[in-house]
Amino acid sequence: MSTYDEQEYQRKYRAEHRDEKRAYQKQYGIDHRATILKQHKEYHKTNYVPHPKQPRPMEERFWEWVNKGGTNECWNWKGAPNVWGYGQIRDTNGRYGKKKLAHRISWIIHNGPIPTNILVLHTCDNPLCVNPNHLWLGTHKDNALDMCKKGRHTKGGWGQ
Ligand SMILES: [Zn+2]
């Protein structure tokens, strides 16, 4: 003996009367599904907002993370630094973008592309700084010399 199940009954009843209901709606010109679809389309036409994950240019995202100060002050990066203490930004937005160094991006934005094997170095020794006035281009050798000159080699910093 099977027990009575209200939900099962409702489901069966609705299935049996579905065609009947549709025929009735058609007869009186009420096409419920078409109405819903129309409303849905209208809604998306009038309330269209771009998806937040749409790619935004690097420069636009860059400035949102900079604590911009005076020309001779350090402009600290607001985002989380990498293990060496340098600010980082992804080349495309979203989590699949490759991480780039923020001060290098700052150089590219202000002065154009960086030649290969050339480093962007800080005059202020503040790895979080992205102020273009505190950045200069140098080789690995320049960086090592600079490091010795400022006594940074004893602290174990790499510069970048
Ligand atoms: Zn600085």
Neighbours of 93 (CB within 10 A): 17
- pLDDT of res. 160: 47
pLDDT in tens, 80-104: 999 999 999 998 877 778 899 999 9
* CATH architecture designation of domain 58-149: Alpha-Beta Complex (3.90)
**69 or 155, which is more confident:** 69
- How many whole angstroms from 32 Cα to the centroid of ligand 1? 65
- Which residues on adjacent β-strands are paired with residue 99? 90
The DSSP call for residue 94 is: S
Q: Provide the total of helices (H) and of strands (E) in the chain, helices listed first.
A: 5, 6
Q: How do the residues of the chain divide into helix, strand and coil, expressed in percent and rounded to 5?
A: 40, 15, 45
Q: Give whole-number Cα distances, 85 to 37, 54, 76, 95, in Å.
A: 53, 29, 11, 20
- How many whole angstroms from 50 Cα to the centroid of ligand 1? 37
CB 54 within 8 A of CB 100: no
Mean pLDDT of the chain: 85
- How many whole angstroms from 150 Cα to the centroid of ligand 1? 15
- How many whole angstroms from 118 Cα to the centroid of ligand 1? 19
Q: Is the dihedral of CA 84, 106, 67, 146 positive or negative?
A: positive
Q: pTM of the prediction?
A: 0.61
